[in-house]
Amino acid sequence: MKKILSVSAAALLLLVSQGVFAQTKVIVGLSLPTQREARWVSDKNTMIAEAKAKGVDLRVQTADADSAQQATQVEALLSQGIQVLILAPNDGGAAATLVDSAHKQGIKVISYDRLILNSDVDLYVTFDNVKVGELQGEWLVKAAPKGNYIIMSGDPGDNNAKLFKQGAMKFIQPLIDSGKIKVVAEQAVANWLPSNALNIVENALTANKNNVQAILAPNDGTAGGAIQALSAQKLAGKVPVTGQDSEAAAAKRIKAGTQGMTIFKDTRDLGKAAIAAAITFASGKTVADVVYNGTKATGSYNNGKIDVPAVDLPATIITKANVQLLVTSGYLKAEAIK
């Protein structure tokens, strides 16, 4: 009997050493599309810190705005024993196959900030992006109720770009229809690159002999490119420009008067909400159990295949009048926006 027990004990130790028994620590994979923009660096840092605080083993990969690279990185994460994948897609459509791969292995997928299209993704953690666009559009038509507009939208592969523009056009389109606003350039900014926004605005200014009264820039990076083009023509501060993400560079431009507004989406909350949802899923619970600071997954976004349950976080407009909120909230350091 003692010999049998001894053999059994040895076998148990072997099984444990080989990881046969269920792990106790939550392992989560995180795939981000880029680190080219300050907000994505912040998202990464927030989730790393939150995962550490919650005892989560977070495996992180970042693609350089390259969908093929992201796919390779995600497949690598799926082979590492993760229980949940947090995925901010570089291309919302291309990422559908990654959801399929994860689900085949019993791994739940949280779509982070950007919606994964045409898939049965488990949860979407986001801000109310149509509302973000509405805030941009409403501010812009008040700042420039008539004249020539340059309308830029974000990268075509990012579903958020469609939602931002949809919200903004709610306010701009009626003035186009009435003839008060003329759109002299309307173009998507590939990969959200400021350099691409710079080229769009430069070309529009040249084609219209600098006769431009407003610029819809979908985020702070593209706003920076637009303002660079305006500065070259001594128009910076004379043409209202929108933005979003509340980057430090944008806050400086708002204080200087060259950028009119940005949108404060506290990505610290977004990152923490994603980690909380991942822990919920890893514990075997369902989307009905997902909650962050009292916000449940009661939102819904159709991705072309299903209505994806969503945690919708609030956003705030930032102008010169309240730019200090970015500091008092702890989102930015005071010295960063001097």
What pLDDT digit, counting tens, does each position of 187-239 carry? 999 999 999 999 999 999 999 999 999 999 999 999 999 999 999 999 999 99
**Residue 23 binned pLDDT confidence (cut-offs 50, 70, 90):** low
Task: Say how far apart CA 87 and CA 156 lie, in whole Å.
Answer: 18
Pair type for strands 299-302 and 27-32: unpaired
- Domain residue ranges of the chain, discontinuous segments joined by +: 24-121+266-313, 129-265+320-326+332-337
Residues linked to residue 61 through DSSP beta bridges, in sequence order? 31
DSSP state of 241: B
Alpha-carbon separation of residue 180 from 46, 157, 171, 205, 212 (angstroms): 44, 31, 12, 19, 13
Name the CA dihedral angle for 233, 236, 240, 245, rounded to a multiple of 10 degrees. 120
* pLDDT value, residue 12: 46
The top-level CATH class assigned to 129-265+320-326+332-337 is alpha beta
Q: Do domains 24-121+266-313 and 129-265+320-326+332-337 have the same CATH topology?
A: yes
Token readout for 186 is 């309307």
Considering the entire predicted model, what is its pTM? 0.80
Fold of 24-121+266-313: Rossmann fold (3.40.50)
**Residue 16 binned pLDDT confidence (cut-offs 50, 70, 90):** very low
Tens digit of pLDDT for each residue in 295-315? Answer: 999 989 999 999 999 999 989
Task: Say how far apart CA 215 and CA 103 lie, in whole Å.
Answer: 42
For residue 326, the one-letter residue type is L
What contacts 24+ positions apart, CB below 8 Å, involve 285-293?
A: 287/122, 287/123, 290/123, 293/269
